[in-house]
Amino acid sequence: MDMDRNIRAYPDIGEMAFGNRGRWVVSVFMNLELYLVATGFLILEGDNLHNLLPNVGVKVAGSTIGGKQTFVILVALIILPTVWVNNLSILSYISASGVLASTIILGSIVWTADGVGFHNKGVLLNWNGIPTALSLYAFCYCAHPVFPTLYTSMRDRTQFSKVLFVCFSLCTICYASIAVLGYLMFGSSLQSQITLNLPTNKISSRIAIYTTLVNPISKYALMVTPIVSAIENQIPPHYSKRLSRVLIRTTLVLSTVLVAIAVPFFGELMSLVGAFLSVSASIIFPCLCYLKISGSYKRNGFERVIISAIVLMGISIAVSGTYVAIQQLISRM
């Protein structure tokens, strides 16, 4: 983006490196990844609300809609107005609440640990779980497709590297802390979301669960912004932009609701996203684009060797992780 000011989004980088085919491949992987992450947010909301209120259900036209499905729909209705907002600076303030929420969640889990204790033990190293673990690690750090959008929206772009450093550092601290606490508290019985293990009768647990519900609501709109932009750019100029935007964004939210209800398995879905999409969009594609744009692929040297090793590592994680994730999803269906 520093080399060419016309580059505004991740697909532009793919086009600069590999032409129209590069743009198409990057766009498909990026948008599908963001779409499924947004879907995962709805599944997370449904799981946690159902855990708090297990007896909720709605009857419509003689059919009963289960608690998880009901909560997914309700949360989508709450999220919908944030998706209609065009001003990314407003969304950044909404998303900033997620940082505070993550801090509160971590503090609440530490508080809960004082009452639950560290009595459970599990298998410290499970080789069969390595592909899933690596896939989920990739998912946790898969924000790369959003970086160009954030960069172009910043008032002071010179601070971008500092922003990334602070964000990744804070995320790593939160992830590692909750992972260790979860293992020590619940061992191998730890679920895909630690909030589902927390005893709902404790105040600290309820604070953690309630606060967990804030994160998806605050981040959903930012996640789907690149998808919305890609679709809206295809609207013919003679159509009403305002009406088209509302219809497109509403339809997008509705579709994620349908997928969340059809495939309500958070851990398995995020593992698939991490292995197949996140590894490709955040590890493999950036390396390949850099090699092509910089011309490093023509030169033998330390940089080329390191980047090629990263690409090979990414491909191995993508293949093994995707295979395991699909197996897990099929077994749950």
Q: Which residues pair with 60 in a beta bridge?
A: 63
pLDDT score for 265: 86
Burial of 81 (0-12, 13-18, 19+ CB in 10 A): exposed
- Using the predicted structure, report yes or no on whether residue 127 has a pLDDT greater than 90: no
Domain for residue 222, yes or no? Answer: yes
Rounded-to-integer distance, Cα 109 and Cα 115, Å:
10
Statement: residue 226 has pLDDT above 90? no
Taking all residues of the chain, what is their mean pLDDT, rounded to a whole number? 84
Q: How confident is the model at residue 116 (pLDDT cuts 50, 70, 90)?
A: confident
3-state secondary structure of 60: strand
Phi (first) and psi of residue 118, to 5 degrees: -115, 70
Confidence at residue 23, expressed as pLDDT on a 0 to 100 scale: 92
Residue 225: inside a domain:
yes
Asked whether residue 20 carries a pLDDT value surpassing 90, the answer given is yes
Confidence of residue 308 (pLDDT cuts 50, 70, 90): very high
* pLDDT tens per residue, range 60-78: 666 667 778 888 999 999 9
1 part of a folded domain: no
274 domain-assigned: yes
Report yes or no on 308 lying in a domain.
Answer: yes
Min mean pLDDT across 5-19, 156-170, 232-246 is at 232-246
Amino acid at the residue 227:
I
Residue 3: inside a domain: no
pLDDT of residue 153: 79
5 lies in some domain: no
Question: How many independent structural domains does the chain possess?
Answer: 1
Tell me the pLDDT tens digit for each residue of 268-285.
888 999 999 989 988 999
What is the per-residue pLDDT for 62?
A: 61
Element (H, E) at 226: helix 214-232
CA distances, 255 to each of 164, 236, 252, 270, 325 (Å): 31, 23, 5, 18, 22
Extract the tokens encoding 68: 């998880």
Residue 56 CB: number of other CB atoms within 10 A?
Answer: 15
Distances (CA, A) of 1 to 6, 29, 161: 8, 20, 13
In a domain, 51, yes or no: yes
DSSP state of 5: T
The structure tokens 């899933």 sit at 132
Q: Please give the residue range of the domain that contains residue 233.
A: 10-332
Please report, for the chain, how many H helices and E strands are present, in that order.
Answer: 13, 2
The model's pTM is: 0.80
Is it the case that residue 297 has pLDDT exceeding 80? no
